[in-house]
Amino acid sequence: METVNSTNKTRKPVVTLLCNGKDASKDFSKYLRELTFNEFEDEQSDELTLTLNNNDGYFSDLWYPNKGDKLSVTIQYGEDVFEPGAFTIDENSFNWGLSGDTIEIKALATSTNFSVRTQKIKNWSGYTLNKIAEIIGKQYGFKVLGNTGNVKIGVIVQKNESDIAFLKRISKLYGYIFNIKDGYLTFTSLAELESGEPLFTLSKSSDVESLSLNDTVTKIYGKAKVQYLDLKSKTVKTYTAVGNTEITDTLTVYKRCSSLSEAKIVAQSALKNSAREVTGRIQLSKPNKLFMAGVNFDLTGIGKHEGKYHIKSQTLKIDETAKLRQEGEISKCLNSVQ
């Protein structure tokens, strides 16, 4: 493994690895068997996995990677530089066998200090989504990034959920993608993501190694309805969000909202979260540094399915052949909900 530099123009990936702020590239290069970086738009923390040769036993003793150690990775491929970012070691797996000894190091973008497993019960009713994120983030040293529009939540309770699980649930409920990156709790509007302009174009004939798409209407709804309390009449009313008028199925959201404005947000978010009729997985024939989770791109050369797609996750992988591979989970962008 060479050291990353601005003049490197080979088509062989070059990895720079920092461990607790110190450059460990030279020491690790001759032991590296595989590197995998998984980036997710939501659902879980970004992951870095290193598989290293441990025949010398160094990683079982002198170079033992401790839980909580910080790793930072940069991958240079030709003139392009991929920067997965900073990670915290969460788990080590040792394997011994006739084919050689190895250690697999798994590191997460989420700090190991963040409450992932501890379940809590707390009433957050009346808070805004942004305020809830600030209060929880402050406990672990995270700042809030992204504008949630100060969505005021009516009745909401953290019911035997970890802080991460709770933030993910309420973010999805109110139309936001939640994730944790580089010391920030990030919130991005799902509507803004899918309405954003594509950053690049991929052609099936020249840019795609493999592609699989699944086209289904089993989870698509034409409408979504939710109940809310009308303070003027002091009665319970129903708001209905309308999406695809050609679909007759209606999604009922089982959450009582405290206002019409909250009901609109919840109903429209429910429609968007269910409207994933074309989804799939793509592997690129050559890595593209713009191919990142949360980005939109145009896909051409596939007939009726061509159009604007959204990247939900991506994987960068270097194996023993020293080839950099890139693939991801994608979904086709749909028209905005009315």
Percent of the chain, pLDDT > 90? 44
Which of helix, strand or coil describes residue 227?
strand
pLDDT for residue 337 is more than 50: no
Q: Are the CB atoms for 335 and 278 separated by under 8 Å?
A: no
pLDDT for residue 201 is more than 60: yes
The residue ranking higher by pLDDT, 49 or 233, is 49
State the pLDDT confidence band at 9, using cuts at 50, 70 and 90.
low
What pLDDT was estimated at residue 336? 32
The CA distance from 285 to 205, in Å, is 10
The CA distance from 327 to 311, in Å, is 10
Which of helix, strand or coil describes residue 287?
coil
What pLDDT was estimated at residue 324? 94
Question: Could you give the dihedral angle defined by the CA atoms of residues 97, 46, 271 and 252, in that order, rounded to the nearest 10 degrees?
Answer: 60
Of 25-34, 159-168, 177-186, 307-316, the poorest mean pLDDT is in: 177-186
Please give the single-letter amino acid code of residue 285. Answer: S
Q: Are the CB atoms for 31 and 52 separated by under 8 Å?
A: yes
- Read off the pLDDT of residues 171-185 as tens digits, 9 standing for 90 and up: 888 888 888 877 788
What is the pLDDT averaged over residues 315-329? Answer: 92
Average pLDDT, rounded, for the chain = 86
From its phi and psi, is residue 58 left (phi > 0), alpha (psi between -120 and 50) or beta?
alpha
What pLDDT was estimated at residue 334? 67
- Read off the pLDDT of residues 50-88 as tens digits, 9 standing for 90 and up: 999 999 999 999 999 998 899 999 999 988 999 998 899
The CA distance from 186 to 144, in Å, is 6
What pLDDT was estimated at residue 6? 45
What pLDDT was estimated at residue 49? 97
What is the pLDDT averaged over residues 207-219? Answer: 84
What is the pLDDT averaged over residues 138-161? Answer: 84
pLDDT for residue 117 is more than 70: no
Note the pTM of the prediction, 2 decimals.
0.77
What pLDDT was estimated at residue 152? 79
What pLDDT was estimated at residue 186? 86
The CA distance from 20 to 65, in Å, is 11
pLDDT for residue 121 is more than 50: yes
Q: Are the CB atoms for 241 and 224 separated by under 8 Å?
A: yes
The 10 Å CB-count burial string (b at 16+, else e) for 60-93 is eeebebeeeeebbbbbbbeeeebebebbbbbebe
- Read off the pLDDT of residues 246-304 as tens digits, 9 standing for 90 and up: 777 888 888 878 888 889 999 888 887 776 678 899 999 999 999 999 899 999 999 98
Query: For residue 117, how far is the Cα from the chain centroid?
Result: 19
State the pLDDT confidence band at 114, using cuts at 50, 70 and 90.
low
The CA distance from 282 to 211, in Å, is 4
CA angle 322, 81, 196 (to 5 degrees): 120
The residue ranking higher by pLDDT, 5 or 90, is 90
